[in-house]
Amino acid sequence: MASEEELFASVDALLEEEPHLPPPAERARLREAAGITQARLATALKTTTQSVKNWENGRSEPKSPRLDAYQRLLNGWAAKYPAHGHAAPAAPAPAAAPQPAPVPDTFTGPAAPEPEPGGTAAPAQASGAPTAPQRPAHPAGRPVTSRRPAATKAAAPATDPRFPHGPLAVLDGDGSAYAVGGTVLDCPATTVPELVEWTLKESGLGAAKLHRYGKDSDPLIVLTAAAAVKLGLPERLEGHEQRRSLRLPADHPVVKQVAKAKWQLTQRGFGPWARIYRTAQGRERQCVQLAILSWDALDERSWPGVSEMEPADVAHVLGVYASRVITPRGSTAVSGLELMTALRPPTKAVQDPATGNWVSGYNAGSLGTEPMDPAPPEATAEHPVVVNSGWSGGFLNEEAYQWVRAVDTLSDEECTLPFAVGLDLNTAFLAAAARLVVGISAPDHFHAPTFNPKIPGSWLADLSHIELDPRLPSPFTRDGSRPTGPAWYQTHTLAYAQELGYNVAPIEAYLRRETGAYLDPWHDRLKTAYVDTLADLGVTKDLDDRAFLAAMEQYKQVDPAMAAVLAAIKATVKGGVGKLRERPQGKAYKEGERWPALERPTWRPDIRAAVISKARVNMHRKLNNMVKLTGLFPLAVLSDCVVYPSPGDSPLDFLPYAASGKPQPGGFRLGPTPGLAKLEGVQSMLWAVDLMEQGHNPARHIKGGDAVLEDGE
């Protein structure tokens, strides 16, 4: 018979449960039945109309204390306006996500994860793990030392029945494991091997694959400083290297524990992001990803403020990122690269016509399972294909703009304008990745080829004869200077020279016969994530330009957690592109040696060059069109930021608009989608000219700080 203490604990657990809201469509029906507009409801709950829209279309859920007030209101309306003459139904349990038809296992090669952080094959958790019991926020008979119970709620997507508690949890020192949606699990582990076993067998953590031929995501456990210490890890890693590159020594007790329990670490070792796995047995691949907050796993630039948040809030931020992008697997750069592979798996199951057996075969449109050497001009100076061949023919130098206009080209009229206004293009690299055709196969060498703008590759050509207005940067070089002789260019750069009306006669080229829009699914997923996250912050597509600028001024204050998700999405784009040409790291590296990144099929400097070339061409095309539409020339460009002289302190004072008030096509346009612009910062024209005279780039400092070109290298 249950004791009184057990009964009271059970009742307390029920009281602690969050209110259950009716389905989104029912919320809208009840509000409309009451004759209340979304705007009026937003005013009553002291929130925004967009938030109410999100609640009613299932994009997000209210948080306490609005959650309780909203629940009370809906209950009252349900009593007054029952559906079809009956009481409104209670919210059903989340529906199971539709599962694709099962296919035979497509895993090929070693079962262990790739040794490099950006590797593409990592063991996935075996399905069918039992679920862990949900822990009440205040369990009876045990003091709670967590800083506070979960209070924030992520939007609730359809639940995969194999992973009822979502993709990840944040473990605190008292054994509380904060999962997404406010769930708090009880983790009894006191050692890292015990934690791995609990995660795989009891936690119910993980995430379904993003592509039918892909792999499920490994569960992620994030450790607070207190949890790390409890598990025998140092609170912080100490050393002379950058903290993110530090690792536990091989003789550390925890590393020995892992080995003794017959678990393995990847070649990354036990650092801020550690993968612990066992060799696969058939389909049974087991791997857990750890991230240690006090070891700077969440870089402040990519995840602003997150490492200082409460565990429940960290779980909320990472959970939203996981649902919209991917379960984090390392830095945002690593996650950006692995997202490419997750959306374009290298293999799929095919049936051998001779035997009828299912075997692993190439998945068309992917980069395959084997690394591919670049053409010599696409490589870096230390790459083996360069060192071993004695290549001296120059290199592809497709990089983002770092250009400052010569001061002596400024007119008196420009100098008398009072303001310098910076515009920043939203995720310019992501916009460039849209419908971008890149090479899939290895490069072939051609002499004196006829230029074809539809073939991706690297072309040696002389563009020094092209003379453009010195008040604009050259579209052909990083620093905007005029080319001085033959140089290697990516296809988009030469195609733009043709577009401007100039003759292009390549001397030689390295081209790829098999091509495809490899980055399309990557672009589409990240674009949706970016736009949806901005919408959660009140910046929506339906805003006019003035309202958009106003919303962008204060979006970080609307919800710091979602603002951190947005920053992480942006870092994922730039870092992922940068990882396509990751350079060797560490002082011990010797020129001509292969480094770990070269073993990835995604080490593709030619694809990185294609993205950056297209982004730079897109920027120059807008700069050129702005001259035609407004007569204005820029002062400076830094990657995706451009600074213009302006008669007022707003982009509205110089951007081109038609008589109808609509933006003129071709120039810079304001808006929340990739490729459109937002205000980066405003300073005085005197300030900008002073920096230019000193040889500094106003675009780097227009925001009031020091911009960083985050290319993930």
User: 594-627 pLDDT, tens per residue?
Assistant: 999 999 999 999 999 999 999 999 999 999 999 9
* pLDDT tier, 121 (very low <50, low <70, confident <90, very high otherwise): very low
* pLDDT tier, 104 (very low <50, low <70, confident <90, very high otherwise): very low
pLDDT digits (tens, 9 = 90+) for 371-405: 999 999 999 999 999 999 999 999 999 999 999 99
Provide the 8-state DSSP code for 301.
T
Asked whether 121 and 113 are in contact (CB, 8 A), the reply is yes
Q: What angle do CA 519, 522, 524 make, to 5 degrees?
A: 105
How many residues appear in the chain? Answer: 713
Mean pLDDT confidence for 121-130: 37
CA distance 205 to 220: 8
The closest of 374, 395, 339, 314 to 605, measured between CA atoms, is 374
Question: Which pLDDT does position 109 carry in this prediction?
Answer: 31
Provide the 8-state DSSP code for 537.
T
Asked whether 294 and 235 are in contact (CB, 8 A), the reply is yes
Provide the 8-state DSSP code for 675.
T
Cα→Cα distances 230→183, 205, 326, 531, 553, Å: 22, 21, 28, 40, 42
The closest of 542, 541, 528, 535 to 562, measured between CA atoms, is 535
Which residues is 147 bridged to in the sheet?
none
Residue 139 pLDDT greater than 50, yes or no = no
Question: Which pLDDT does position 92 carry in this prediction?
Answer: 40
Question: Which pLDDT does position 285 carry in this prediction?
Answer: 65
Indicate the pTM of the whole model.
Answer: 0.78
Residue with tokens 């907050």: 293
Asked whether 428 and 694 are in contact (CB, 8 A), the reply is no
Q: Which two tokens stand for residue 298?
A: 């969440």
284 versus 142: the higher-pLDDT residue is 284
403 versus 45: the higher-pLDDT residue is 403
The closest of 54, 47, 50, 48 to 21, measured between CA atoms, is 54
Helix (H), strand (E) at residue 414:
helix 412-416
* pLDDT tier, 709 (very low <50, low <70, confident <90, very high otherwise): very low
* pLDDT tier, 299 (very low <50, low <70, confident <90, very high otherwise): very high
Q: Which two tokens stand for residue 626?
A: 């702005």
CA distance 317 to 326: 12
* pLDDT tier, 24 (very low <50, low <70, confident <90, very high otherwise): confident
Provide the 8-state DSSP code for 245.
G
Helix (H/G/I), strand (E/B), else coil: 75: helix
Helix (H), strand (E) at residue 611:
helix 605-630
CA distance 183 to 131: 12
Residue 697 pLDDT greater than 70, yes or no = yes
Burial bucket for residue 181 (CB in 10 Å: 0-12, 13-18, 19+): buried
CA distance 602 to 608: 10
Q: Half-sphere exposure (CA, 13 Å, Cβ side) for 39? A: 0
Question: Which pLDDT does position 150 carry in this prediction?
Answer: 37
Question: Which pLDDT does position 355 carry in this prediction?
Answer: 87
Helix (H/G/I), strand (E/B), else coil: 670: strand
pLDDT digits (tens, 9 = 90+) for 559-591: 999 999 999 999 999 999 999 999 998 778 899
Distance of CA 13 to the CA centre of its chain: 37
Helix (H/G/I), strand (E/B), else coil: 359: strand
Distance of CA 407 to the CA centre of its chain: 38
The closest of 602, 115, 562 to 343, measured between CA atoms, is 602
Percent of all residues in the chain with a pLDDT value above 90, rounded to a whole number? 70
Count of C-beta atoms within a 10 Å radius of residue 232: 13
Count of C-beta atoms within a 10 Å radius of residue 708: 11
Helix (H/G/I), strand (E/B), else coil: 319: helix
Kindly report the average pLDDT of the chain as a whole number: 86
CA distance 436 to 453: 12
Asked whether 710 and 457 are in contact (CB, 8 A), the reply is no
Burial profile 446-457: b = 16 or more Cβ within 10 angstroms, e = fewer: eeebebeeebbb
* pLDDT tier, 130 (very low <50, low <70, confident <90, very high otherwise): very low
Question: Which pLDDT does position 166 carry in this prediction?
Answer: 95
Provide the 8-state DSSP code for 657.
B
Q: Half-sphere exposure (CA, 13 Å, Cβ side) for 488? A: 21
Handedness of CA 387, 388, 392, 393 (dihedral sign): negative
Sequence-ordered list of residues with C-beta below 8 angstroms from that of 694, at least 6 positions apart, any chain: none
CA distance 74 to 44: 13
Mean pLDDT confidence for 468-490: 97
* Residue ranges, CATH 1.10.260.40, the chain: 19-85
* pLDDT tier, 352 (very low <50, low <70, confident <90, very high otherwise): confident
pLDDT digits (tens, 9 = 90+) for 243-286: 567 899 999 999 999 999 999 999 889 999 999 999 876 666 68
Percent of all residues in the chain with a pLDDT value above 70, rounded to a whole number? 84
Helix (H/G/I), strand (E/B), else coil: 227: helix
679 versus 156: the higher-pLDDT residue is 679
Q: Which two tokens stand for residue 98?
A: 């539709």
CA distance 98 to 300: 36
Mean pLDDT confidence for 108-121: 34
Question: Which pLDDT does position 82 carry in this prediction?
Answer: 85
Sequence-ordered list of residues with C-beta below 8 angstroms from that of 129, at least 6 positions apart, any chain: 162, 200, 201, 202, 203, 204, 206
Mean pLDDT is lowest, of 127-136, 444-453, 504-513, for 127-136
67 versus 306: the higher-pLDDT residue is 306
Residue 208 pLDDT greater than 80, yes or no = yes
User: What CATH code is assigned to 19-85?
Assistant: 1.10.260.40
Question: Which pLDDT does position 246 carry in this prediction?
Answer: 85
Pairing status of strand 419-425 against strand 641-646: antiparallel
CA distance 205 to 164: 7
pLDDT digits (tens, 9 = 90+) for 546-563: 999 999 999 999 999 999
Residue 133 pLDDT greater than 60, yes or no = no
